Amino acid sequence: MKEFPCQLYLISPLDVGGDFPAHLEAALSAGSVAAFQFRVKELDQHEAAALAEPLQAICAAHDVAFIVNDSVALAKRLKADGVHLGQGDGDVGEARELLGRDAQIGVTCHNSRHLAMEAAEAGADYVAFGAFYPTATKSVDHVAELDTLQKWSFVTEVPCVAIGGITPSNAKPLIDAGADFIAVSGAVWNHPHGPAEAVKAFNALLA
């Protein structure tokens, strides 16, 4: 039995300008969310920081961890709660040295328990497996299997995140397989009735 129930981990769309802060506020007001990952591409650090700051404030007001995707330097600049590293985005040990012992450091491990074990041994706070389902959020080079979650949860206490095309209708097998977090983007921000309704639907499932 897991000590804690599975929790919701939101990932931003690539476009977080315009009225996105209002969407984030609505989502975080609608139910329990453990973390929000700020994921933008091809912006310089100054532009990214300007977009991040209002979102970081909303997360802080709701006691939601603010995690920066890919960039340790941006995470340090923002004094973010943590950073999420892809396989080519840097070393866990170096990130820990720069961000401090309290930072949450996650690592993308695709469908590989070997990569996950390496990340955990290097000091990662969580590992992420995926993509479990087809997704329009990013190109999918690796497909993950439920067996990976099950075996990981059985042999280690390091939390794991399931990611990739997750919706309220397909999340239950991942939760049952042992995911500690389900990471969601499009199913929340593109929900036909708005992000608040999506968060409510995920929360009902996780309850």
pTM score, two decimals? 0.96
Task: Give the contacts of 165 (CB within 8 A, at least 6 positions apart).
Answer: 131, 132, 133, 134, 135, 137, 186
Q: Any idea what the CATH number is for the domain that residue 61 is in?
A: 3.20.20.70
Alpha-carbon gap, residue 120 to 117, rounded angstroms: 5
Is there a domain that residue 2 lies in? no
At 47-103, the pLDDT tens digits run 999 999 999 999 999 999 999 999 999 999 999 999 999 998 889 999 999 999 999
Tokens of 3: 């000590």
Alpha-carbon gap, residue 183 to 16, rounded angstroms: 17
Q: SS3 breakdown of the chain: % helix, strand, coil, rounded to 5?
A: 40, 15, 40
At 163-205, the pLDDT tens digits run 999 999 999 999 999 999 999 999 999 999 999 999 999 999 9
Is there a domain that residue 1 lies in? no
Is there a domain that residue 137 lies in? yes
Number of domains in the chain: 1
What region, left, alpha or beta, does residue 165 occupy, with left being phi > 0 and alpha being psi -120 to 50 degrees? Answer: left
Alpha-carbon gap, residue 71 to 68, rounded angstroms: 7
Range of the domain at 124: 7-206
Task: Give the contacts of 84 (CB within 8 A, at least 6 positions apart).
Answer: 37, 67, 68, 69, 70, 105, 106, 107, 108, 128
